[in-house]
Chain A
Amino acid sequence: MIAELGLCALWLAAALAALQLVAAWLGQRAGGETLARIVRPAALVQALLCGLAFLMLLWVFARTDLSVKLVVENSGSDAPMIYKIAGAWGNHEGSMLLWITIMAVAGGLIALIEHRLPEKTMLATLGAQAFVGLGFYAFLLFASNPFARVIAPPADGDGLNPALQDIGLAMHPPTLYCGYVGLSIAFSFAVGALLTRQVTPDFARVMRPWILGAWIFLTLGITAGSYWSYYELGWGGWWFWDPVENASLMPWLAATALFHSASVLASRDALRTWTIMLGVIAFSMSMIGTFLVRSGILTSVHAFAVDPTRGTFILALLAINIGGALALFAARAGTIAEGERFAPLSREGALVINNVTLSAVLGIVLVGTLYPLLTEAFGLRVSVGPPYFNPVSMVFVTPMLIVLAIGPLLRWRRDSFARVRTPALLAAAAAVIALLAVWLVAGIALLPLLGLTLAAGVAVSAFMPLRGRSLRRLPLATCGMAISHFGIAVALFGMAVDTAFTVEKLTAAGVGDTVAVGPWEVRLTSVEPVAGPNWTALAGRLSASYRGGAAHELVPQSRTFWAPPQTTAESALLTRWNGQLYTVLGEQTQDGRWQLRLWWKPFVTFIWLGGVLIGLGGLLALIGRVAVDVRRRKAARRSATRKAEIAR
């Protein structure tokens, strides 16, 4: 019953999306006011129905209802409750349902609260949202029904993929989806604005919180995903330029460019066409990413059950949604009036450079990700990795970071270099000192050296815009910007130090042996079997001391799951303020010793700390923007009532 209720809710939600589309379309015409009034309620009820369907899916997973095919294939009765529930979205069908649910809820929210734009533009926006949604409903209902039953329920399910039985991973997909789907809202706004030719600062102001929200989720999702792959895969790396990682990075890059250009449009009424195009591009990156992951046309560590019909379906959605939007854009771009002009040396000028460099990096990642596909079409199999991505993207990241240091200091419209000379020189001095210090202390490779130099300059300059301003009267958004920019410096510092100074040790150690890695002395005290809820493991007890100090215990495991049968290495990490000791227990060698993989990674945690700071800054900016909006609305309402009173 539960599964049928969920399926029923899903069909009804799809029907409402169809109604929303038709009503929004016909409501645009003269005499369509009655139909137009249906649009907002339809979006709201659709959100509720989708939420209901998703709750039903959670329910069948929580109860391990083995008459549902998806549960049989992706869960088991002996998994802990949290992973049973996370199992609901740890698979293709469930994650698509999560996707459409977030999308419907976001659509319902704009229908409920957004009243600033002309009603026609809102109708077009909600219509576009319904149109995109319908494609995904069709995909779910016709090609990936999450509620399908099995004819003969088995005694137990196949179990959840062991690698996914981890709290970090349980939260990773929902976070990223919030980001991807938030960009669909930006997309709908862009299409709505194009259809009604209303590319105004108001449009940018309305769209901005959604981009910012999506961007925060993407930032945190990427940060969490990176940390997860770092400690779960047991390879000690935090970014592999894997196609799926790139699939989440590309929308992030586009979203970063988008909210910077949207802020130019909101404050200065410039960059109109460019902002619209980025709105389309950002969501198309989400969809291309989804396509690359689900169709299985690229080889990746992220294995989804690959099915060509799914790939075809998403490709069709991609062609219709993005192709349609780009065609509309090509038709309308010429009719959008040019916005305000500005001098090259101005806040706008700096933001244009930010946009150009971000787009260039986006292009580099896109080309690198798709290049293997292109050569495969000519019968050549290649893989593209760090030797391409790192140096080539650094060519554009370097000017971007230099502009990031100076841009926030500049005034809108026109500025002179003389006015910002002091703070710019301070930042440059910090960078040069860092460069010399690192150069003298240790000879390291060019890229990490460049990274450390830029990190020092950006860190100092991040807080320059706050100079001489009263902290109490500082807008929250400006404060958020400073924190985000500082977060970039922190993350860059972590990446550069980790790249340059990591010490790695691969060794075979007997019980009682001591291994030195960097400043650490690590002793293998024992190896013993342990049992978990659905696994058994060999646990190595390591006693580690930092520069001869007190001993800390680490327990890396070599874990064997029985449903499905698979062995994973559970790394054990010891975090100090200045880095992490990373330990992995391997196989037993013939002579009875144990393979140990040890890394000392100085300041590696700064990478994710920086990511969190970037997201936190975004959150502050979002709160600041929304608070200002709420205040403005209240003031507008008050003046409206006062006017009405006076008129009376």
Chain B
Amino acid sequence: MKGVRWSLWILVAFVALLGLFALQLSRPKHDQVDSAMIGQPVPPFALAAAVPELPGLSTADLADGQPHLLNVFASWCIPCAAEAPQLAELKRQGAPIVAVAIRDRTEDLESFFQRYGNPFSRVGKDDTSRIQFLIGSSGVPETFVIDGKGVIRHQHIGVIGPEDIPDLMARLKAAGR
């Protein structure tokens, strides 16, 4: 009967494996991979002003000791227009929001702000998507939480929905600590 013992061990190992599979299967799948830029300082850049009435944006502006929301958007992007009310609400709650306009024209931006409002204190102009690429953004709209030292703390991909506002505010507050 010496064969019995090691064959039981195989059975035990198999049951443990099944348990692991079942555990993993029952958990909600976490399939979002965080950007490698999280925890990294924003790479050095300086963007010219996209509209004459607001200043442009540079790395130094992001590292002024105060946390910011950085919105990557474009006037030609329809989802960006859809998230405008949420950005306005974030601004009303006291979030300082700066922006990078991707491959855009001044006159289009002006009319975009006229229609949907302008929650931004600075808008930099990124005509080649270079800065977008540097901070690890792959599309518009995207919103980054950046702390007072200019370090990227969070990346929100896609439209900000009304349900995302509390989360973004909490992350902004956490970045300020």
Chain A residues within CB distance 8 Å of chain B:
273, 277, 284, 288, 291, 295-297, 299, 306, 308, 311-312, 315, 318-319, 322-323, 326-327, 329-330, 333-334, 336, 370, 373-374, 376-377, 590
Contact = CB atoms under 8 A, between A and B. Distances in A.
Nearest to A376: B24
15 contacts: A291-B21, A295-B25, A297-B24, A297-B25, A308-B25, A308-B29, A315-B21, A319-B18, A323-B14, A330-B7, A330-B8, A334-B3, A370-B17, A373-B21, A590-B128
Contacts of B22: 315
B54 to A, nearest CB: 26
B7 A333 contact: yes
Nearest to B23: A377
A99 B20 CA distance: 26
A566 to B, nearest CB: 15
Contacts of B25: 295, 297, 308, 311-312, 315
A319 B14 CA distance: 9
What DSSP secondary structure best describes chain A's contact surface? helix
Contacts of B20: 370, 373-374, 377
Contact of B4 (A312, A334, A590): A334
Given A306-B29, A327-B11, A334-B3, 16 more contacts: A277-B10, A284-B14, A297-B25, A308-B25, A315-B22, A323-B11, A323-B18, A326-B11, A326-B14, A329-B7, A330-B4, A330-B7, A333-B4, A370-B20, A377-B20, A377-B23
Contacts of A373: 20-21, 24
B14 A336 contact: no
A229 B15 CA distance: 34
B19 to A, nearest CB: 10
A370 B15 CA distance: 14
Contacts of A334: 1-4
A326 B11 CA distance: 6
Interface of B: 1-4, 7-8, 10-11, 14-15, 17-18, 20-25, 29, 31, 128
B14 A322 contact: yes
A336 B24 contact: no
Given A296-B29, A306-B29, A277 B24 contact: no
Contacts of B24: 297, 373, 376-377
A333 B21 CA distance: 27
B126 to A, nearest CB: 13
A323 B21 contact: no
A318 B18 contact: yes
B4 to A, nearest CB: 4
Given A312-B25, A334-B1, A277 B18 contact: no
Nearest to B8: A330
B25 to A, nearest CB: 5
A642 to B, nearest CB: 43
Contacts of A295: 21, 25
Nearest to B4: A334
A370 B31 CA distance: 17
Nearest to B33: A299
A586 B10 CA distance: 50
A308 B117 CA distance: 43
Contacts of A327: 11
Contacts of A288: 17
A287 to B, nearest CB: 11
Given A311-B25, A318-B18, A299 B31 contact: yes
Contacts of A374: 20
A338 to B, nearest CB: 9
A370 B21 CA distance: 9
Nearest to A291: B21
